[in-house]
Structure 1
Amino acid sequence: MKKALNLNPRFRSIVLPLVLFVSGVNAFFIPSSEDAGSIDAYLRGGIGARHLAMGRTGASYVSGAETMYWNPASLAGLSAFEGMLSYNMLFADTYEFFAGEIIPTQWWGNFGVGMLRMGVEDVEGWNAQNLSTGKIENETSAYFVSYGNSAYASPLELGATLKIVHHNVAGYTDKGFGFDAGARYTFFSHFISVGAVYRNLMGPSITLINCEEIYPPSLTLGVSANRGYFLLSADAALSSGENIKLSAGTEYSRYAPFFFRAGINETELSSGFGYEFSGWKCNYAYTMHSAWDENLGSSHRIDLSRAFSGDLQKFKAGASKDVTRAYKKARRWARKGKLFYAVDASRETLELDNQHEEAALLMRRVYNDSKSGIDSGKITRFEDVSYSRGLIAYIDNDLPLALNYLKQNLNLVPSNKEVRDTVNNINAAILKKRQEAEARDKFQKIDQYMNDGIYLYSIENYAAAAEKFTLLLALAPDNADAARYLELCRNAIREMEEKNRPAPAPRPAKKAPPPVEEKKPALKFEVDPEKAENLYNDGLVEYSLGRIKNALHYWEMAIKYDPKNKKIKKAIINAEKKLK
């Protein structure tokens, strides 16, 4: 800190409060007269005629270079290099000047730099002898370095601002620094955004003539919504030691590029308009101060900004030709009104560069325009409604619903090549998804059969294991592992059959043929269905183990005890076929 003038204590006790009061004359453009005595009064009025016209709201919607003040998180929603200048002569030779620049990047988020200066010219200084000491400087400045970013197409945006402030009062100077932090979240399906910004984190702190003042911390919450041609906004701000301050505003865009605005807060009524042309933006605001009690008059504010990039991608670091070509194609289709083609090209761009903000914003804008057109009743013809609803479903990746709407559109406009191509693309995409699902199911079955087969083989259940490997080979005939395990199972089954095969019965000695009268079948095999059933079941056990000859032996015995049993006859026929 330096002392520019050698002032005696009496002079300081008279002049310093006067100069401090003059430095706070900007109270006429801040939300409440109680802010006039605050060290940060020059900042509380905000920046930008658009926000002033909308009641000094701005925590939840995106604007221009002044965004770095209102909510640094909203920088993530900007896509163009944009500069802004604002110079306003207030009263009593008080002036306000702001300059800012937005610097977007492809990979590292968006940056902003700015400067706000408030000063009073031609303030005469007097000493204790009532003699003029010449002009006294009185100037307060704030310098902003801001950053905002979000993940690709994410609804959550985060940002922060490094704020360096400088005070110069009657030659006494000091500087300090602090931080602002902000967040913004957008509900795309409802066109609603919410924002929060915490200002003066960790200072700044200013000391003038051994008197330290700290910028009071403040929290602002905001919400905004796009409904048809209206942007509606409301903020609630709370500063340390003060009451909550409410503000609200609206913007009407029916006659764009002309925009009409109005706002209200606890002490002001405001209105204004804006006009955009060839990358330029001009905004005007008119405010009636202390409109509810004492009349402190009115004020005007004008600012001018310029977007320096029509195709930001050309300026972004690391942009490949393929990305640029795909994005240009998306913009070209959008200008021609071929919105499905534009969405496809935007998706192609995002596949090449998943952080391409302009492609994501283009899809978001197409979605919002279609939704608001239907909700506001601007789109009324049935073919246009089916086109727009199909487009909304297409962007949401609800392909069956999109296909339904587009088929309705084709029934009305059969010659629409864009819709027909999109229907073909959707059918191809649905078929691809179905094939991918079938391939995924097939892979899962193969994996399951392999695991089950290996487990059954490990517990020596070779027949069941062979069945699993057979099913696997039906799905994947080239699976060498399954073929090897199946061969092992078959070998093990053959070995078990050899071990368990019953010894051949000894041949009986030849005997003299019995007398004819004693050769009666009824004497050897009496009809016994129960015994036949037991032999049949024994045969089934042998058959399930692959020992078909043994099974046939049991069934041949069983049929002798129940010659009319069709079930046993059928089993014998099947076994004989297997053995052939």
Structure 2
Amino acid sequence: MRLLLSLLIVFCLYDFSYGQSSAPTYSNEFLSIGVGARSFAMGNSVIASQSGVEAAYWNPSSLVELNSKYDASLMHAEYFGGLSAYDYLGFAIKLTKESALGLSLIRYGVDDIPNTLELIDSDGNLRYDRITTFTAADYAFLFSYARKTGIKGLNIGGNVKLIYRHTGDFAKAYGFGIDLSASYKKSNWKFAVVLRDASSTFNSWVFNTDDLEEIFALTGNEIPENSTELTLPRLILGVSRSFNISDNFGLLAEFDTDLTFDGKRNVVIQGDLLSIDPHIAVEASFKRFIFLRAGLNNFQEETDFDNGKEWTFQPNLGLGINYKGFRLDYALTDIGDQSIARYSNVFSLSYSFN
């Protein structure tokens, strides 16, 4: 454990010092969207309370708490009026009473983008029949493992992330990263810590500019060069508390906060060295059958037309049904359009079985 802690400190210090001058503030942001409609309804405040296969994304150490041998989940969401699609597929298996394994696939893409490079032929004629289409998509494959420790209530876990991104035949990138996590349960309390991109997730970009050089030269654009993009670590802390109101009614509350070290972000606490982004959620249940959820996140300071400052936030609501191993979850994000955020109806379906 001491060796692991020492390695984490070395990684963080290296990435912190290197990233202040080289790494972008936002990288691989499609991996920050989340998975599962429950998490969307709760404003992504789920790293301590999330169970089931979706925990592989949020907090892999919680995978070991699977109630069944197998658990599978899928989700589909669309953004920007259906222009882009976001999909998730996950599967988890409980290997023993002390360990579990998870596999996840995430895709965010825009399909059927018109390619007009050949719109005008050599004679200067418009040739609409020469228009083709291409896809710009990001993929992530997560291999997760969780295990109980010798300390009662303490679990540890991690992810190995393989990333593939492409924009038609023009550019592609391959990436690799690691997530580490731990959770501790004591009575009705649960504490969680997740270090995403613990070793810095990198994307190695390769550009095919053969078909673009002439267009880029005519339009005065700079021809891109092969490069490596880094995603610096993000530390997420969470605590949840469950309450037994009666034999039929239960309540759960969770508070999470994201700590980023990649430059100033528009969050509650902003800084060049450290930015802190809190979010909070509650979940009420009836006989563990019906769940009502609400969450607040995405707190940002915005400037209006009069150069005035005001704080905005994103409210979310959701509903869940759990019946004979099936879990159907629904989320309505950004109620009342309170913030500049993703407004969407999100559904996810999960199934636990032996």
Pairwise same-fold verdict (TM > 0.5): yes
CA 1:127/1:37 → structure 2, altered by over 3 Å: closer, same or farther? farther
Cα deviation, residue 133, structure 1 = 4.5
CA 1:293/1:262 → structure 2, altered by over 3 Å: closer, same or farther? closer
Identical columns (%):
26
Cα deviation, residue 308, structure 1 = 1.3
| Counterpart for residue 252 of structure 2 | 231
Q: Which amino acid aligns with 2:316?
A: S
Of 315, 338, 344 in structure 2, the residue corresponding to residue 299 of structure 1 is 344
- 1:66-77 matches, cutoff 5 A: 66-77=54-65
| Counterpart for residue 194 of structure 1 | 191
Q: Which amino acid aligns with 2:146?
A: G
| Counterpart for residue 269 of structure 1 | 315
What SS does structure 2 have at the residue aligned with 1:58? coil
| Counterpart for residue 184 of structure 2 | 185
Q: Is 2:50–2:58's contact at 8 Å kept on the other side of the alignment?
A: no
Cα deviation, residue 67, structure 1 = 0.4
Q: Which amino acid aligns with 1:234?
A: F
Matched, 1:44 2:32: yes
- Quote the Cα distance in structure 2 between the aligned partners of 1:85 and 1:173: 26
Q: Which amino acid aligns with 2:47?
A: A
Cα deviation, residue 75, structure 1 = 1.0
CA RMSD of aligned residues (A): 2.2
- Quote the Cα distance in structure 2 between the aligned partners of 1:225 and 1:181: 23
Q: Which amino acid aligns with 1:168?
A: H
What SS does structure 2 have at the residue aligned with 1:202? coil
Q: Is 2:283–2:292's contact at 8 Å kept on the other side of the alignment?
A: yes
Q: Which runs of 5+ in 2 are unaligned?
A: 1-23, 121-126, 208-225, 245-249, 266-274, 300-312
TM (norm. structure 2) is 0.72
CA 1:290/1:170 → structure 2, altered by over 3 Å: closer, same or farther? farther
| Counterpart for residue 253 of structure 1 | 285
- Quote the Cα distance in structure 2 between the aligned partners of 1:205 and 1:289: 35
The structure with higher relative contact order (CA 8 Å, sep 6+) is: 2
Q: Which runs of 5+ in 1 are unaligned?
A: 1-35, 310-580
| Counterpart for residue 82 of structure 1 | 71
| Counterpart for residue 54 of structure 1 | 42
What SS does structure 1 have at the residue aligned with 2:30? helix
Q: Which structure has more helix as a fraction of its residues? A: 1
CA 1:307/1:297 → structure 2, altered by over 3 Å: closer, same or farther? closer
CA 1:129/1:95 → structure 2, altered by over 3 Å: closer, same or farther? closer
Q: Is 2:109–2:136's contact at 8 Å kept on the other side of the alignment?
A: yes
Matched, 1:206 2:195: no
Q: Is 2:64–2:97's contact at 8 Å kept on the other side of the alignment?
A: no
Deviations 1:136-172 (A, max 9, x none): 2211011011011114782111001101111011322
Q: Which amino acid aligns with 1:262?
A: A
Q: Which structure has more strand as a fraction of its residues? A: 2
Q: Is 1:98–1:114's contact at 8 Å kept on the other side of the alignment?
A: yes
- Quote the Cα distance in structure 1 between the aligned partners of 2:160 and 2:67: 21
| Counterpart for residue 97 of structure 1 | 87
What SS does structure 2 have at the residue aligned with 1:59? coil
Q: Which amino acid aligns with 2:137?
A: E
- Quote the Cα distance in structure 2 between the aligned partners of 1:225 and 1:291: 29
Cα deviation, residue 79, structure 1 = 3.1
Q: Which amino acid aligns with 1:61?
A: S
Deviations 1:506-559 (A, max 9, x none): xxxxxxxxxxxxxxxxxxxxxxxxxxxxxxxxxxxxxxxxxxxxxxxxxxxxxx
